[in-house]
A and B are shown apart, each in its own frame.
Chain A
Amino acid sequence: VSPETIEVLIRAAVTVGAEAAIAISKAVHAGDVDTVSQLSAVLPDEHRQQLEDEALIQRQRALAGVVDAT
């Protein structure tokens, strides 16, 4: 994911706690846009939108069979 997304995930950890932030991170990497939307609903809109966009990128990559090394 992009460095900006990692920064947002770190900020999310401060807001919603480490466990919730890890769950959001997993959903982003899995490309599960709906779950990201639900879990990040309490975050500021701009952060939630960025995480959703990143999840969409990961979803398209997963559909194309891209194996993420991370």
Chain B
Amino acid sequence: MGGMTDPAPVTPTPPAPQSRTTITPRAPQMTAAQMLADNVATRVREIAAMASLVMLAKWGLLPGQWAAIVIAAIVLPIEITRQVGKTIGARAAALGAGSGAVAFVVLLHKALTWGAIATVAVAAVTGCSAQQQHRATAGVIVSSGGVVEGLRQSNRDAYVHATDALRARVQGEEYARQSEPIDTAFRARGRAIRDLTGVLYASARLNDRPDVTLAERAAAARDILEQLRDLTAILRDGSVLPPIPIPTAVDDAEAGLQSLATLVAGGAQ
């Protein structure tokens, strides 16, 4: 052990020459903040693109299979360019060489992504096709039918309750005399509810006329709004029969008409 001699001094060997395939960054490295910002922007763009496509399919009222095909037809080119861009970029970086193809593919990818978003944005601004608008209007009308039916039932319930209570006190001719204002109010409400169907239909149709100018729509909205308020006032009147609760859908229609009607006051043309 003690007879061991000191080891010979190690001569440092010169470093081996670098291989041509060693990765050498050609551009200055991005800072962490820049990378984070770039990553966030990409994710936002992707989420916006997907949400837009889903909205597009929903707007188009496409059946499930067709919606999937439409989305795939738009998404696939975007994803393919992204993967091609990654591959070309990695190879170019590995070779330490620049590639115009990288820039081209990246630009193509961005163009496709933003193209999808812009298409849906334009569709949102210009509105749906006449057929789609008609379908949407039909949906509103169907739902308004349910609303009106609910009002009719409420009106009948209120009438039956009031006349049952009256019958418990009086009968015969006295009932006929005292029930007259109740019958009149019931008939007036029934008439108002029947007219309300037409008013809600007209309200829905306002959005189904792309050929009508905004000013004309606003003027029509004012007329319809006035009728709607007159009719709901009859239903809310509790002087003879208890007031009928107005469904939220009717309030929503009134708010929509109010918004459109105020465009005239705002000078929209």
Q: Which residues of A contact B (CB under 8 A)?
A: 2, 4, 45-46, 49-50, 53-54, 56-57, 60-61, 63-67
On chain A, the residues within 8 Å of B194 by CB distance are: 46, 49-50
B67 to chain A, nearest CB (A): 34
Produce 1/0 per residue, B135-156, CB < 8 A to A: 0000000000000000010001
The segment from B179-187, B220-228, B255-263 that touches chain A is: B179-187
Once the chains bind, are B159 and A65 in contact (CB under 8 Å)? Answer: no
Chain B residue nearest to A45 in the complex (CB): B197
Once the chains bind, are A60 and B176 in contact (CB under 8 Å)? Answer: no
Produce 1/0 per residue, B156-179, CB < 8 A to A: 100110011011001111011001
Once the chains bind, are B173 and A49 in contact (CB under 8 Å)? Answer: no
Once the chains bind, are A56 and B176 in contact (CB under 8 Å)? Answer: no
Closest 8 A/B residue pairs (Cβ): A64-B175, A60-B163, A53-B190, A46-B194, A64-B167, A66-B176, A65-B172, A65-B171
Once the chains bind, are B156 and A60 in contact (CB under 8 Å)? Answer: no
On chain B, the residues within 8 Å of A46 by CB distance are: 194, 197
B183 is contacted by which of A57, A65, A67 (Cβ under 8 Å)?
A57
CA distance in complex: A46, B199 (Å): 13
On chain B, the residues within 8 Å of A60 by CB distance are: 159-160, 163-164, 167, 179
11 residue pairs of the A-B complex, CB under 8 angstroms, read A49-B152, A49-B193, A50-B190, A50-B194, A54-B187, A56-B160, A60-B167, A60-B179, A64-B167, A64-B176, A65-B175
CA distance in complex: A49, B153 (Å): 11
Once the chains bind, are A66 and B173 in contact (CB under 8 Å)? Answer: yes
CA distance in complex: A51, B40 (Å): 65
Once the chains bind, are B190 and A49 in contact (CB under 8 Å)? Answer: yes
- Chain B: interface secondary structure? helix
On chain B, the residues within 8 Å of A65 by CB distance are: 171-172, 175
CA distance in complex: A70, B191 (Å): 24
On chain A, the residues within 8 Å of B166 by CB distance are: 64
Once the chains bind, are A2 and B187 in contact (CB under 8 Å)? Answer: yes
CA distance in complex: A1, B149 (Å): 23
CA distance in complex: A45, B193 (Å): 12
On chain A, the residues within 8 Å of B186 by CB distance are: 53, 57
A5 to chain B, nearest CB (A): 9
Once the chains bind, are B179 and A61 in contact (CB under 8 Å)? Answer: yes
On chain A, the residues within 8 Å of B163 by CB distance are: 60, 64
Give the residues from 171 to 221 in chain B that come closer than 8 angstroms, CB to CB, to chain A.
Answer: 171-173, 175-176, 179, 183, 186-187, 190-191, 193-194, 197
Q: A49-B190, A53-B186 are contacts. A61–B152 as well, Cβ < 8 Å?
A: no
Chain A residue nearest to B189 in the complex (CB): A53
CA distance in complex: A46, B183 (Å): 18
B141 to chain A, nearest CB (A): 12
A4 to chain B, nearest CB (A): 8
On chain A, the residues within 8 Å of B179 by CB distance are: 60-61, 64
